[in-house]
């Protein structure tokens, strides 16, 4: 549609979002709500790809901190993202949206292997592509996978759906006086050590001039509003400020 600001979007969703109020696993109402949000944006003739984390099931970095070997812990975390991707695929298809899951770790019975050109072709055919398995390598987060996949498929923006309404200079849950940014540069995020995405993902976006929008995905309709260019959340640019 002519009113849409973006033609191709990569949506990054944390696994914790799917847990909802229960704090772990997948809360069906949250999953259905996310599928409805994505379906609404797809109906605007916008191509949507999704990278989803696995923190609601298993966090590799947390297990590593508890003594597990890092590479093994990260591979387990990648498998958790596949579980979430399959759950989201099912919810989207029940909402009438054509969907494909592509995994960086080969598992033919469950998902396609990741092939860049095939992913782009799926998007052109109005299918939502869910990228699972992170980058397929340990020591890289799903934030980095989101930045990498967004650039590979030619997405115009990464939209990170979170539980807060943007980027703050401190944790708003702990500091009521935290200042919200409506716009900030990638360099400022790195310099201030703001917990938005990991530094590898932020650097990738900055070096390749890929904008990022951070917004509250828990509010119904927010994904559509951001996709249409409404000024909500925080817009991250490559400009030095």
In whole angstroms, give the CA distance from residue 54 to residue 15.
4
Question: Each residue of 142-155: pLDDT tens digit?
Answer: 999 999 999 999 99
Q: Tell which residue, 213, 230, 210, 211, has the closest CA to residue 166.
A: 213
Residue 240: what pLDDT? Answer: 52
CA distances from 84 to 90, 123, 149 (A): 10, 20, 18
- Give residue-wise pLDDT tens across range 127-173: 999 999 999 999 999 999 999 999 999 999 999 999 889 999 988 88
Mean of pLDDT over the chain: 93
Tokens representing residue 28 in the block: 């069906």
Asked if 35 and 92 touch (Cβ cutoff 8 Å), the reply is yes
| Distance, CA of 25 to CA of 152 (rounded, Å) | 30
Residue 8 pairs with which residues in a beta bridge?
47
pLDDT band at 59; cut points 50, 70, 90: confident
Q: What is the pLDDT of residue 195?
A: 86
The answer to whether 81 and 50 are in contact (CB under 8 A) is no
The backbone region for 20, taken as left when phi is positive above 0, alpha when psi lies in -120 to 50, beta otherwise, is: left
Contacts of 156 by beta carbon, 8 Å cutoff, 6+ apart: 6, 7, 8, 9, 211
Alpha carbons 208 and 204: distance in angstroms, whole number = 6
Kindly report, residue by residue over 179-237, the tens digit of the pLDDT: 999 999 999 999 999 989 999 999 999 999 999 999 999 999 999 999 999 999 999 99
Compute the Cα dihedral for 54, 17, 27, 59 and give only its sign.
positive
pTM: 0.93
**CATH match of 8-237 with 3.40.1160.10:** yes
Q: How far apart are CA 202 and CA 99, in angstroms?
A: 28
pLDDT of residue 2: 47
What's the rounded mean pLDDT across residues 62-91?
A: 93
Instruction: Output the six-digit token pair for 143.
Output: 């934030």
């Amino acid at each position: 549609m002519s009113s849409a600001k973006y033609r191709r979007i990569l949506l990054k969703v944390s696994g914790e979002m799917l847990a909802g109020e229960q704090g772990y696993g997948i809360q069906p109402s949250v999953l259905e709500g996310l599928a409805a949000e994505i379906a609404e944006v797809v109906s605007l003739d916008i191509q949507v790809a999704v990278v989803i984390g696995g923190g609601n099931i298993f966090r590799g970095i947390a297990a590593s901190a508890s003594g597990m070997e890092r590479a093994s812990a990260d591979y387990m975390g990648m498998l958790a993202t596949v579980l979430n991707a399959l759950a989201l695929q099912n919810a989207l298809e029940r909402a009438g949206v054509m969907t494909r899951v592509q995994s960086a770790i080969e598992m033919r019975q469950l998902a396609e292997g990741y092939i860049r050109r095939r992913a782009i072709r799926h998007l052109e055919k109005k299918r939502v592509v869910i990228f699972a398995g992170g980058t397929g390598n340990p020591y890289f987060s799903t934030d980095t996978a989101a930045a990498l996949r967004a650039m590979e498929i030619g997405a115009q923006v990464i939209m990170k759906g979170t539980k807060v309404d943007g980027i703050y200079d401190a944790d708003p849950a702990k500091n009521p006086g935290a200042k919200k940014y409506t716009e900030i540069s990638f360099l400022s995020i790195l310099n201030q050590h703001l917990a938005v995405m990991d530094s590898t993902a932020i650097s990738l976006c900055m070096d390749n001039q890929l904008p990022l929008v951070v917004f509250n995905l828990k509010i119904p309709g927010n994904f559509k509003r951001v996709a249409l260019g409404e000024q909500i959340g925080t817009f991250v640019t490559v400009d030095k400020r």
